[in-house]
Amino acid sequence: MPELPEVETVCRGLEPFMRGKTFQRVILRRKDLRVPFPKNLAERLEGRKVTNISRRAKYMLVHIAGNKNIGADILIVHLGMSGRMTAIPKGRDYTPVKHDHMILEMTDGPKIVFHDPRRFGMVMLTPEGQIETHKSFAHLGPEPLEAGFSKSVLDKKLKDKKANIKTALLDQTVVVGVGNIYASEALFDSGISPARPAGNVEEGELEDLVRAIKNVLRRAIKAGGSSLKDYKKADGTLGYFQHGFKVYDRECQPCPRCTKNGKKGHIIQKIVQSGRATYFCPRCQK
């Protein structure tokens, strides 16, 4: 579930509860998610201070200060499909429920709870200096909201690519953070058919696509992300960008672009590409 806007929203929401605070107690309620929790995670975190929270692709990075014995580290958290990180403010009652797998108790009272029914999430720990070469990070493409993501960069990545453009957008070496929802939405906004071979999308269209990706991600962040089933913000409330979807999960509904002034437009279609649902308007997307 969580794509870039959702992870970004969670990072921002957690920051006031974590930044500048120290891990007082770390509780693991099982030994693994998709991968085992880092060895001796609690002992390695307790007593150390969080200096910053950032995001790379769909990963949340909790920066942890070093001390005289150990260098700075980064706690890497990925929410998978169904993960949540929520903050329980100081003084609010909290009793763990099913699928609460990790609890970070911070000094001054707040608790951060990692909850993940499907357990596709991941928690890893790495020295700060090794993040760029970390197995999960070394091959990541550009951040879509930064200047490094441009028409020319995308053109270079997609040139000669035969896979369809929708599947290519999910490839984290092409661009990071775009998942199944925002891929469909960005292709709709740029008027490009999801079935087009990626290498055949022309320069002018790529320019539109880059703009559409940046736009939809920014608007989704402003809305606090999209809540379909599991996703909630760090304060436990819902995002609302799902109400702003134009095509995603709108199969059989009239296209919002070619339906106007009582004129019957085309119907949003759902197809399956590389095993994942894609939604599009067959008239507006060529």
Partner DNA sequence: CTCCTGTCCTGCCGGC
Partner DNA sequence: TGCCGGCAGGACAGGA
Beta bridge partners of 55: 60
Name which of 90, 100, 84 is nearest 17 in CA terms: 90
Residue 276: active-site member: yes
Which of 3, 6, 8, 185 is the catalytic position? 3
Q: Identify which of residues 117 and 191 has a Cβ nearer to DNA in the complex.
A: 117
Element (H, E) at 84: strand 84-88
**Count of residues that interact with DNA, criterion CB under 7 A:** 39
Question: What is the token pair recorded at 210?
Answer: 């880059």
Q: Identify which of residues 238 and 258 has a Cβ nearer to DNA in the complex.
A: 238
Length of the chain: 286
DSSP 3-state of 175: coil
Which of 2, 110, 144, 194 is the catalytic position? 2
Query: Residue 130: how many CB atoms within 10 A of its CB?
Result: 12
The CB-of-9 to DNA minimum distance in angstroms stands at: 11
Binding mask 1-20 for DNA (x = CB under 7 A): xxx--x--------------
Name which of 52, 37, 182, 27 is nearest 113 in CA terms: 27
**Tokens 């055949």 belong to which residue?**
200
**Tokens 């609010």 belong to which residue?**
92
229 binds DNA (CB under 7 A): yes
Beta bridge partners of 76: 61, 124
The CB-of-69 to DNA minimum distance in angstroms stands at: 30
Residue 205: active-site member: no
Residue 2: active-site member: yes
99 binds DNA (CB under 7 A): yes
Can you tell me which of 235, 253, 276, 282 binds DNA, judged by CB under 7 A?
Answer: 276
Query: Which residues belong to the active site?
Result: 2-3, 58, 276
Residues that bind DNA (CB under 7 A): 1-3, 6, 34, 57-58, 78, 80-82, 98-99, 117-120, 135-136, 161-164, 167, 170, 172, 179-181, 226-231, 274-277
